[in-house]
Amino acid sequence: MIRSSEQGFSTIEIIISVFLIGLIVVAVMLFSGTSLKTSTANRLKNNAVRLAQQTIENLKQYDQQGFNRNTFRTIPGVIGNQIPSPVVDGVIYNVNTQIIPDNLNPDIANNNNYIPIRVTVSWNYLGRNQITVDTCMIQWQ
């Protein structure tokens, strides 16, 4: 016989509390999974931006050697070719450089001292990702 002065939890109260705790745990796990994907995607994008900047810095050495827009196109392995795919943090990045066509740059189309460059970096993480960096090299005379 149960006395009314005895206190404790009933079975239904225990079931409800376990259910609520389970919901909270699932919500926290979903949130942490989403935040992990987001932080990984941001880290990979930062790596891609760094690779694009590094590629542009590497191209500057040719600009300082007196190349102009016409001769810049002839440098083997630099323009129009895919640079060997670097692997950063276990992800393969594809880096491609090209001179931006004159019809996309009407303001500088006839100026041989400006070399408009486009660097595209792509990688696969939860689908295909890509960044494009446009810059313009100026030949100092």
pLDDT, tens digit, 9 for 90 and up, residues 78-126: 666 666 788 888 889 998 888 777 666 666 666 667 778 888 999 998 8
- 59 pLDDT higher than 90: no
CA–CA dist 64, 138 (Å, integer): 10
What letters, b where the CB count within 10 A reaches 16 and e where it falls short, cover 83-115?
beebeeeebebbbbbebeeeeeeeebeeeeebb
CA–CA dist 126, 33 (Å, integer): 14
Q: How far is CA 131 from CA 18, 38, 78, 88, in A?
A: 47, 17, 18, 16
Predicted pLDDT at 18: 92
CA–CA dist 69, 42 (Å, integer): 35
Predicted pLDDT at 85: 80
Predicted pLDDT at 82: 61
- 2 pLDDT higher than 60: no
Predicted pLDDT at 76: 59
Is residue 49 a contact partner of residue 57, using CB atoms and an 8 Å limit? Answer: no
Predicted pLDDT at 23: 92
Domain borders along the chain are: 11-138
Predicted pLDDT at 46: 93
Predicted pLDDT at 74: 65
Predicted pLDDT at 115: 78
Predicted pLDDT at 22: 93
R_g of the chain computed on alpha carbons: 29
Phi/psi for 56 (5° steps) reads -65, -40
pLDDT, tens digit, 9 for 90 and up, residues 16-54: 999 999 999 998 888 887 888 889 889 999 999 999 898
Predicted pLDDT at 28: 87
Predicted pLDDT at 121: 92
Is residue 129 a contact partner of residue 45, using CB atoms and an 8 Å limit? Answer: yes
